[in-house]
């Protein structure tokens, strides 16, 4: 199944590489659900899908609980009149003025995701979405993908919370997959946060500690990240697998290349 959102670092293309390492389990737990690529391409009985981005989680909950209303509101944003740079910035301002629980804000989230530059999801320090216009020709309304997500979401629980709170909910029979904001390859590659709060190196270390604790309790935990000396050191209690991944986030197609990543299996 295809994710209905664009997502920097999304795992759609390598979901099979990650699933290969899964043991048998009854529930998949994701502290950083993102576009939900692993959720959409696995067959667990239940899912606990979490993220610190409240707009993302409310979008998923609205699609789970009120699919027809949300899809109808979203479709109206893809009929042509809103496909312009001026209209994009007007709707971005409207998005930033709405309460996160508002179903209209969820519809606008999908609109911005499809029209913003490279599908980035980024907020400034005030918590305002600030990705610029992407200049795409007639972005497509992902109705089919949204409906498929809604059907499968009936098996899932979506929560807006940090990864440490998500780990506290682990139980026997879980498999935990973590796709955190990656350790930047360089200082210049790090940009302002995709949620209101950043994810620094101390958070990366805390995540590794939680993975080790889960392993000691017999609960499998898998983490994806860049292949770097610091990540290999943090995940030294895991079995590390290397993988080359195509990166499509660069503004110029000539700058898009394969990057070395690791899958750390605890």
Query: Per-residue pLDDT for the chain (266 aa), expressed as one digit of tens each?
Result: 899 999 987 788 889 999 999 999 999 999 999 999 999 999 999 999 999 999 999 999 999 999 999 999 999 999 888 888 999 999 999 999 998 889 999 999 999 999 999 889 999 989 999 999 998 888 999 999 999 999 999 999 999 999 999 999 999 999 999 999 998 887 555 444 444 456 889 999 999 999 999 999 999 999 999 999 999 999 999 999 999 987 665 445 455 578 899 999 99
Q: In what order do the strands lie in the sheet with 156-160?
A: 156-160, 46-51, 27-30, 174-178, 220-226, 258-265, 239-246
Give which of 172, 253, 264 is closest to 226, Cα–Cα. 264
Q: Which domains does the chain possess?
A: 1-52+161-266 (3.40.50.150), 56-150 (1.10.1020.10)
- Please report the pLDDT score of residue 258 as a whole number: 84
C-alpha–C-alpha distance, residues 246 and 260, integer Å:
9
pLDDT digits (tens, 9 = 90+) for 101-139: 899 999 999 999 999 998 899 999 899 999 999 988 889
60 near 54, Cβ under 8 Å?
Answer: no
- Please report the pLDDT score of residue 248 as a whole number: 60
**Residue 258, C-beta contacts closer than 8 angstroms, at least 6 positions apart:** 244, 245, 246, 247
- Please report the pLDDT score of residue 97 as a whole number: 96
**Residue 73, C-beta contacts closer than 8 angstroms, at least 6 positions apart:** 103, 104, 106, 107
175 near 27, Cβ under 8 Å?
Answer: yes
Give which of 130, 133, 112 is closest to 196, Cα–Cα. 130
Question: Any idea what the Cα angle at residue 167 is, between residues 28 and 34, rounded to 5°?
Answer: 55
What backbone torsions phi and psi does residue 218 show, to the nearest 5 degrees? 80, 15
C-alpha–C-alpha distance, residues 154 and 47, integer Å:
9
**Taken in order 113, 119, 120, 124, is the CA torsion positive or negative?**
negative
- Please report the pLDDT score of residue 194 as a whole number: 44
- pTM (predicted TM-score): 0.90
């Amino acid at each position: 199944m295809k994710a209905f959102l664009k997502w920097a670092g999304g795992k759609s293309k390598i979901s099979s590489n990650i699933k290969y390492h899964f043991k048998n389990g009854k529930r998949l737990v994701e502290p950083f659900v993102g576009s939900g690529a692993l959720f959409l391409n696995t067959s667990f009985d239940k899912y606990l899908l979490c993220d610190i981005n409240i707009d993302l989680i409310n979008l998923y909950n609205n699609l789970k609980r009120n699919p027809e209303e949300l899809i109808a509101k979203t479709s109206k944003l893809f009929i042509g009149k809103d496909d312009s740079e001026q209209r994009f910035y007007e709707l971005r301002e409207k998005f930033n003025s709405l309460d996160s629980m508002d179903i209209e804000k969820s519809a606008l989230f999908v609109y911005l995701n499809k029209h913003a530059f490279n599908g980035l999801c980024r907020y400034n320090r005030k918590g305002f979405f600030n990705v610029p216009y992407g200049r795409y020709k007639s972005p497509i309304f992902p109705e089919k993908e949204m409906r498929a997500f809604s059907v499968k979401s009936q098996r899932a629980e979506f929560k807006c919370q940090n990864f440490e709170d998500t780990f506290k909910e682990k139980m026997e029979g879980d498999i935990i997959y973590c796709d955190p904001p990656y350790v930047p390859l360089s200082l210049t590659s790090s940009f302002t946060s995709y949620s209101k709060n950043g994810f620094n190196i101390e958070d990366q270390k805390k995540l590794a500690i939680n993975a080790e604790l889960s392993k000691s309790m017999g609960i499998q935990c898998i983490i994806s990240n860049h292949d770097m000396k610091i990540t290999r050191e943090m995940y030294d209690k895991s079995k590390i697998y290397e993988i080359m991944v195509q990166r499509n986030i660069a503004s110029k197609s000539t700058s898009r290349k394969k990057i070395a990543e690791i899958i750390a299996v605890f």
